[in-house]
Structure 1
Amino acid sequence: MNARTVLILGIKELRGLLRDPIMLVLIVYSFSLSIWTSSNAAPEALANAALSIVDEDQSHLSSRIVSSFYPPWFVPPTMITAAEIDSRMDAGQDTFALHIPPDFERDVLAGKTPAVQLSIDATRMSQAFTGGGYIQQIVTAEVSEYVAGYRSAPDPPVELALRARYNPSLDPGWFGAITSVIQSITMLSLVLTGAALIREKEHGTVEHLLVMPVTAAEIMLSKIWSMGLVVLLGSGFALVVVVQGLLAVPVQGSVLLFLAGAVLMLFAMTALGIFMATVAGTMPQFALLMMLVLMPLQVLSGAMTPRESMPEIIQTIMLAAPNTHFILLSQAILFRGAGIETVWPQFLALAVIGTVLFRLALRRFRGFLR
């Protein structure tokens, strides 16, 4: 195997990528705007929900409840009358309307169970789904604290103190930004190598390579190092400039150690991308095949749902997927500040899986060239 040949062929791949504006836009978007969107969207968290309150009690307890709704979960509540609830919700001005009845404080202190009405605009699904629980918890906590203070109840003998190590405020944007970087590495390593091979076939340059003194391994390695380098540089830029710089999301561990793990991940995924391209043959077929492969990899690897909550058989099967180990080492390094002494099993697993995928892809690629 000639290293100079692999270098020259890889430079040819980079020049071909520069002449593909769609791929360039995809790369720039994946490592910039996509990460910013994932960090700020956070659909599972309530943010700036519109709330109006009808306070017919005008007591100290109702004032405490009104003052407990504040950003970033809610916008400052609007005080309205009961007759305005339906019209404001029909006009889309409010997502939630809380109605505190008269004599609410007196009934609570008397040991009764007065009802508080909460109207929800269910057409705003993402906020309506979580907002009702937020409001119920806030009202219940304020009433319980007020009653306990009024009756001078003794302090409980045991108090549970919760401390979040990496993300003290449990801001979902922190996790969303880093998870988006990991997912972009997985996706682009498949797309770029597969598209590079199919582009060779569609443009007829595969036949040119066949008459040159190059081997299938040299052609594969050239595509792997060139496309892998593009994704590696993009991920480094995204992590340092976008995540740490623009979004101000802290990283606990070593960025260089994470990028070292990304190199092994790219080796495995680019080999898989070449294998898929030889199976598909055309770009539309490759796109369909990528959807069938990429979605299970993203969903079942632990990026979206913790592996511990999945059935054991799924956890065992997904150990054969490279991005399962990459997500484990990424979370350990970036979230918990782990070193190589902790994540070396994931590094070893990625190296073994990458070698197996490379050999399978090389065998398939030789048949593809013939």
Structure 2
Amino acid sequence: MNTTARADAQARDLAARFEETFGAAPDGVWAAPGRVNLIGEHTDYNEGFVLPFAIDKRARTALRLRGDSTIRLLSTFGDQGPVQADAADLVPGAVKGWAKYPLGVAWALQRHGLDVPGFDLLLDSDVPLGAGLSSSHAIECAVITALNELTGAGLSAEDMVRLTQHAENAFVGAPTGIMDQSASLRGAAGQAVFLDCRDQAVQLVPFEAQESGLVLLVIDTKVSHSHADGGYASRRASCELGADVLGVKALRDVTVADLDEARALLDPVTFRRVRHIVTENHRVLLTVDALRSQGPAHIGQFLDASHVSMRDDFEISCPELDLAVATARAAGAIGARMTGGGFGGSAIALTPARHEQQVRDAVVRAFADAGFTAPDIFTVTPAAGAGRIS
């Protein structure tokens, strides 16, 4: 079954389950993809550069507006039963589980001055949870795309990026930037999203690994992480401190040439955090240049250097991620790094297609030998962004 046929079947199935659950057909079915960040980690909230792409795994939401202010939410996964709330009485921090993401979107739209009625929603998703592939943002982007259309809000993609970020920051309590939403809302098949997080300017950059005889493997370590935890927040605080001491608006304004001076002004830990951001921004630009001029076979060195920087300077890796990266490289990958916010989640390995199976087998063996939970390993390709599918 091809991609379009599979999406159509998934939409029909979700619409039928919605009608069975809520007693009437949905107004439509919308989907938004998760994302893999090819390179550019923690640079987004420092007004820097990132290079993610939307992946071929998506959150799907069947939704119908109601004539009152009641919101009823149900998912096809997990053990959380139906969640009910009132659109006029949403409170940040009061909701747990996956329901906080669609409710956060409704709350953010209200704060933006839009009249959001009640609605019924059934959610399905094949974006792995807790794997660093932005399953939460996929939910938010599917929901805001649906509500934007059904309420006639007329929001641009840039508007929806900022509103979902506001939902994440103020309602969910996760101090994230705009990378994940931008990839999910603005992605395109066969393209990576080169995003300037200062002004939301986007350029699509070809990333057609298959045409170069490559695959991008995702290695889900099964080590769960949370963006709302103290580790993420403390890294962001270090970046803000570094920018303040260096007298710049954001670390985006610090160059590699400035690092010697920065070392003299900052404590050792803050300096390492700053050095990661500054060098990571530089690596994003080098990667974009290489993709445009030479193709994906020439970016492995930047992926490798990014992982070392995250492991040693930003200190957001973990033993499972380090093992996945080192093993994949030793088994034939041309470049590998952890991806996502860190402290768990997934690694990516850019691998010649002829070596894919040996990389998979080597990583599985290495995890078993180390006594780690068996990883989930799969390929991803750049896919279209959020939109209506039924």
Asked if these proteins are the same fold (TM beyond 0.5), I'd say no
Question: Larger RCO: Structure 1 or Structure 2 (Cα < 8 Å, ≥ 6 residues apart)?
Answer: 2
State the structure with more CA Rg.
1
The structure in which a higher percent of residues are strand is 2
